């Protein structure tokens, strides 16, 4: 039995064949009757054939474009309409105004999702969640409203609530909201609260239907700390489709101070008192193999860049410095001159098999200034500390859909400093994961996976356990409407 995507591919492929057959006019035999056809009649026949060819090419081009979107492996393009939770407006299915009613209400589409997970680990807690004893502090709820106001203008928003250990706590927030104006195929404008184009999955990382696994590989997508930066910003995006399979998006804006505080806390186990950042710049360039190379179902290459400029955090700390200072308070100001990520992505699909690999290179350069408060005598003994590092991460994931209800994946990932000591488990994390996805029906799915982890780089600095081999089990179920 074909799954829904394969069935859709088959339907469109048959439509292409039908277009070729039905749009090609019958050509009379030119044998013995060739002399009976005048030049004017011959010229008229040529014009009819040329016009028919033009109509045929237009229809086939539209059908091939739809097939390309299904085969491309882009996050969200494989999903059924019922699975389109947390989708960006640029990923909504193109719908002609004729498909809508006359009223504005008929143009509005409402979707939603709810998910609940369970996490259990050995030796160490995962992502600031008490997972060694098992935890249900892992859920997501979203409600999406979207509308095609005109042929070129789209609007939408999503309310989102989640709980992930110490973060979220099921507070309701505006996840994204913006207007999207597509002026031409090669140029569109999107403004508002935006998702960041980072890797293949960041814009739909909360969409369970878009992937096989419970978690995206932490070596590139960060379930902790950096996720608060990468999830999105308030600003503007320019995007478009270019010739020969290329597409692009360029983004500029700012991030919320609360996200900076969440990042600082999760990265250092410390709460900051104030923060600020000038701006965030992000962009992505994609290339998809033209459909004419039919021996490959889909090949996608992408490059993503993200950086934050002018980031500064401030906090007050205290410690016992001994005599003569005793327990003294002091300030800690961190200035990041460089914090950027570059991601290189590849995805290849053939029939029900998909292979995905991404590589991350991350640079950070920070100056930390320590000073005594109120001009105390401690100040001369405190100074500025400089730290610069490069981190790299990558993963390879192979998945196969055995039936329309079961898909299996194997993933291997690594994350470490560029120059790291492989004998020191605090400087790296290697993760081998086996995952299974069960589609109960079009609206309900269940996922489970087990991680075999080596290394302590991703473990909280407050964890004194030095065991470098540990496991994580994750179970999650999601409903969409």
| 343: nearest Cα among 283, 267, 396 | 283
> Using CA atoms, how far apart are residues 135 and 118, in angstroms rounded to an integer?
6
pTM recorded for the entire structure: 0.74
Residue 222: pLDDT band by 50, 70, 90 thresholds?
A: confident
Higher pLDDT, 398 or 204: 398
Average pLDDT value for residue range 94-114 = 67
Q: Residues 6 or more apart from 314 whose CB is under 8 A from it?
A: 272, 273, 274, 275, 331, 332, 333, 334
Average pLDDT value for residue range 445-466 = 85
SS3 call for 260: helix
Q: How far is CA 345 from CA 191, 297, 299, 363, 369, in A?
A: 26, 17, 11, 18, 37
Domain ranges of the chain: 1-71, 80-480
- Average pLDDT of the residues of the chain: 79
Lowest mean pLDDT among 54-68, 192-206, 339-353, 431-445: 54-68
Helix, strand, coil fractions of the chain, as percent rounded to 5: 20, 45, 30
Q: What is the pLDDT of residues 342-371, one digit of tens each?
A: 999 999 998 899 999 999 999 988 888 777
**Residue range 80-480 in CATH 2.40.160.10:** yes
User: Can you tell me which residue has the tokens 């014009």?
Assistant: 47
> Using CA atoms, how far apart are residues 350 and 408, in angstroms rounded to an integer?
15
Q: What is the pLDDT of residues 152-167, one digit of tens each?
A: 999 999 999 999 887 7
How confident is the model at residue 56, as a pLDDT?
Answer: 56
Q: Please report, in angstroms and rounded to a whole number, the separation of the first and last CA atoms in the chain.
A: 24
Beta pairing partners, 431: 413, 453
Phi, psi (degrees; rounded to nearest 5) at 373: -85, 145
How confident is the model at residue 311, as a pLDDT?
Answer: 84
How confident is the model at residue 31, as a pLDDT?
Answer: 42
How confident is the model at residue 2, as a pLDDT?
Answer: 46
Q: What is the pLDDT of residues 385-424, one digit of tens each?
A: 788 889 999 999 999 999 999 999 999 999 999 888 888 8
How confident is the model at residue 296, as a pLDDT?
Answer: 67
Taking each helix axis from N to C terminus, what angle separates 39-71 and 4-22, rounded to the nearest 10 degrees?
180
* CB 393, CB 362: distance < 8 Å: yes
Q: How far is CA 91 from CA 145, 303, 317, 369, in A?
A: 14, 19, 46, 45
Q: Identify the helix (H) or strand (E) that includes residue 56.
A: helix 39-71
Q: What is the pLDDT of residues 264-313, one digit of tens each?
A: 655 555 666 777 788 999 999 999 988 766 566 789 999 999 999 988 88
> Using CA atoms, how far apart are residues 358 and 471, in angstroms rounded to an integer?
23
| Structure token digits, residue 429 | 């994390």
């Amino acid at each position: 039995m074909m799954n829904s995507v394969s069935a859709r591919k088959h339907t469109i492929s048959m439509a292409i064949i039908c277009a070729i057959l039905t749009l090609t006019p019958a050509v009379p035999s030119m044998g013995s009757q060739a002399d009976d056809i005048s030049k004017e009649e011959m010229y008229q026949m040529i014009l009819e054939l040329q016009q028919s060819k033009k109509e045929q090419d237009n229809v086939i081009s539209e059908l091939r474009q739809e097939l390309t979107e299904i085969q491309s492996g882009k996050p969200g393009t494989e999903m059924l309409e019922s699975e389109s939770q947390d989708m960006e407006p640029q990923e909504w299915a193109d719908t002609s105004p004729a498909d809508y009613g006359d009223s504005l209400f008929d143009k509005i589409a409402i979707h939603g999702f709810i998910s609940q997970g369970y996490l259990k680990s050995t030796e160490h807690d995962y992502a600031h969640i008490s997972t060694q004893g098992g935890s249900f502090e892992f859920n997501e709820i979203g409600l999406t409203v979207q509308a095609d106001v005109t042929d070129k203008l789209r609007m939408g928003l999503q309310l989102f609530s989640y709980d992930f250990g110490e973060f979220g706590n099921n507070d309701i927030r505006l996840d994204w909201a913006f207007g999207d104006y597509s002026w031409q195929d090669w140029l569109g404008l999107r403004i508002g609260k935006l998702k960041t184009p980072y890797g293949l999955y960041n814009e739909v990382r909360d969409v369970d239907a878009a992937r096989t696994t419970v978690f995206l590989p932490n070596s590139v997508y960060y379930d902790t700390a950096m996720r608060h930066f990468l999830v999105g910003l308030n600003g503007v995006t320019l995007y478009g489709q270019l010739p020969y399979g290329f597409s692009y998006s360029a983004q500029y804006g700012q991030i919320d101070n609360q996200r900076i505080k969440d990042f600082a806390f999760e990265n250092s186990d410390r709460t900051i008192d104030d923060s600020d950042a000038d701006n965030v710049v992000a962009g992505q360039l994609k290339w998809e193999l033209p459909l004419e190379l039919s021996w490959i179902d889909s090949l996608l290459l992408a490059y993503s860049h993200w950086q934050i400029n002018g980031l500064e955090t401030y906090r007050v700390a205290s410690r016992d410095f001994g005599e003569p200072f005793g327990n003294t308070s002091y300030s800690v100001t961190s200035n990041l001159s460089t914090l950027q990520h570059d991601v290189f992505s590849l995805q290849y699909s053939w029939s029900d098999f998909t292979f995905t690999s991404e590589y991350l290179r991350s640079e950070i350069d920070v100056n930390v200034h320590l000073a005594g408060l109120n001009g105390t005598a401690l100040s001369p003994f405190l100074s500025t500390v400089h730290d610069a590092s490069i981190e790299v991460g990558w993963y390879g994931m192979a998945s196969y859909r055995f039936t329309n209800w079961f898909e299996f994946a194997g993933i291997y990932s690594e994350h470490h400093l560029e120059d790291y000591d492989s004998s020191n488990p605090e400087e790296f994390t290697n993760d081998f994961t086996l995952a299974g996805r069960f589609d109960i029906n079009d609206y309900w799915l269940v996922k489970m996976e087990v991680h075999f982890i080596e290394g302590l780089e991703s473990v909280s600095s407050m964890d004194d356990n030095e065991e470098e081999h540990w496991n994580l089990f994750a179970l999650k179920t999601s409903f969409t409407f």
